[in-house]
Amino acid sequence: MNLEGIVVCVLVQKIKEALLGGRIVKIAMPTRSSLLLQVRKGRETIPLLSDFGGPSPLLYLPEVMPENPDSPPSFCMLLRKQLEDGRITKISQLGLDRVIKIEIDTLGAARQIVTKTLIFELTGRNGNVIFAENDIIIDALRHVGRNMSSFRLILPGREYLPPPPQTGLSIVEACPATIINLLSEQVAANCLDGLIACTTGIGKFTALQLLRQSGINPAAEVLSEEEKTALAGAIASLQQLIRQHVEGSRPVYGIVTKQNRMNTASLSRPLLEPSDRLSCICFPSLNDALIAAATLVPLQTSERELLQKTISAMLARTEKKAAALARDLIEAEDAESYKVKADTLMANIYKLEKGLSSCILANIYTDEELSIELSELHTPVENAQLYYRRYNKFKRAVNEIKKQLAETEDALTYQKSLEASLQTADKKSELAEIKQELVEAGLLPESKKGRRSHTLEKSQPLELTLASGTVMLIGKNNVQNDRVTFVLGKPQDTWFHAKNIPGSHVILKTALREPLTDEMLVAARLAAFFSKARDSSNVPVDFTSRRFVRKPSGAKPGFVIYTNQKTLYVTPDKDEAAVLLNQR
């Protein structure tokens, strides 16, 4: 369960109300990834359970006490020795981050009060419980060494460093108008990413909810004045709602996935769309929602969903890499500007002295004013040399970046073809072939049972017979595409494929010298239907004689090049496809 900072803010307040001033009477670890504190406050003993065993950490007040093992782990024994009988004096949140600190006063030597801290980092898979004194780590639930993190070490004796701080304005305290102004100045791909980047305390879910409440397209790059006003109002309403949650008890909404996992908790009733594939459950309080999240039994994920998740994550990484390389290429191709600055500095070196942070000189090539940033620590000649080095570096980098970008774009095309194959796969053998293809491409680790996949029966491409007796073959994944085109297809057959769109190879076999126009249109519509453009209209579909299609040496499955093609523009017909498929 991914808790956002604003939800943790409410959680801290509820834990304060329940435990602040209480005395820890018992500590246990029901599992090696969970910690249970029993706190005596007044006449009542209140449990606080943290669980780091699932995909997301949880911290809540359980209604049913878990069973404890006979022999506690060493971390549990250490906490018992150091914290039992200690009094909770402070509970706080680190900014709006998902980090909660519980300060505990204990009696030390000579009966002096010593304050020790339990730090609960509810940060996804990297969640942890850290025990510290004066910001020095005594021990932790999970140790983090140099081989796991280069940013910070979680080891006994080390200084405690919190997770990297978030940048942006507090969504709880900042003026909505100030947030909108910062959003307008933010450089981001869209307003959804911009809103997340310029604020702290919310993630993608709440940011998307704020935009939906304001009637704003999350993909929009620029907001109108009306949209800015609406978004400022939505943020103000959220701030008021957070205050109401902190001051009293209000319903909380658990967002549950199709796999029966609670994805997150929302402080307001969310606006969900069918494409979200989520459902909403209302709970009387945040603690009730957290208890439900801990007790939900996830449904077993199907093979298709696992493959879809793998391919989607892979596509996201490759698209991010391609975007970064494109930015690097723009900067590298601007290398000439560094040479101009260096030459201009050298031509005016007598006018400059060490200690300048910038200067404005006449460009020696155009005679226009040129603003040049300088390092105060270097002499003018050294600054010129720095610009020459950047020029030479970027000139060398252009070809390498272009090469990497081309390879990344090829990988992106191939991964999109896998996604299109998964879209049309409806048999176990077809899913098995896609999985095996991912393994062979090094995109998925081979399981211990991986060798068995080689013995699976090969899936067969679709074979349709039209009223005239003409046969049509359709590949539904990359392996089938190669088989349809180069094994079952003959040189005189007609080959179809959606233009520049991942999808199926279609072969039209006819006994006539030329295929009929109606049959050509049917084949083109099916090629469009069995592609990523199945829900589009006016889809371009290339067709050519099979003899003009070839596979480059070493090419990935399903990749071909072709010539002598012509293009048909068709609209996929789902009803027509269903009728033809039922006639098989």
- 568 CA to centre of own chain: 37
The answer to whether residues 256 and 296 touch, using CB atoms and an 8 Å cutoff, is yes
Give whole-number Cα distances, 240 to 9, 94, 267, 455, in Å: 14, 21, 11, 61
Instruction: Count other Cβ atoms within 10 Å, centred on residue 289.
Output: 25
- Tokens 């040399």 correspond to what residue? 385
CATH number of 5-140: 2.30.310.10
Candidate CATH numbers 1.10.8, 3.30.300, 1.20.1630, 3.30.450; the one for domain 169-295: 1.10.8
Q: pLDDT value at position 453? A: 45
- Tokens 């030597």 correspond to what residue? 109
The answer to whether residues 559 and 550 touch, using CB atoms and an 8 Å cutoff, is no
Give the tokens for residue 343. Answer: 């030459």
- N residues, the chain: 584
Give the tokens for residue 208. Answer: 């998307």
Q: pLDDT value at position 466? A: 83
* Residue 197 parent element (H or E): helix 191-197
Q: What whole-number distance in Å separates Cα of residue 200 and Cα of residue 204?
A: 11
The pTM of this model reads: 0.64
Instruction: Count other Cβ atoms within 10 Å, centred on residue 530.
Output: 26
* φ, ψ (nearest 5 deg) of residue 186: -70, 135
Q: pLDDT value at position 108? A: 84
Q: What whole-number distance in Å separates Cα of residue 391 and Cα of residue 338?
A: 5
User: Averaged in consecutive runs of 10 residues, what is the pLDDT profile of the chain (584 residues)?
Assistant: 93 96 96 95 95 88 90 94 96 95 91 94 91 96 86 92 89 95 86 93 95 93 93 96 92 90 92 87 95 84 82 91 89 86 93 91 92 91 93 86 91 89 83 86 70 61 86 92 94 94 93 86 94 91 96 90 95 84 68
Look at domain 305-420 and name its CATH class: mainly alpha
Q: pLDDT value at position 307? A: 87
The answer to whether residues 545 and 494 touch, using CB atoms and an 8 Å cutoff, is yes
Q: pLDDT value at position 336? A: 87
Q: Where are the domains of the chain?
A: 5-140, 169-295, 305-420, 425-454, 460-582
Q: pLDDT value at position 457? A: 64
Give the tokens for residue 432. Answer: 């098995």
* Residue 215 parent element (H or E): none
Alpha helices in 348-474 (DSSP H): 380-424, 428-440
The answer to whether residues 380 and 469 touch, using CB atoms and an 8 Å cutoff, is no
Give whole-number Cα distances, 269 to 89, 245, 543, in Å: 34, 13, 51
Q: pLDDT value at position 455? A: 52
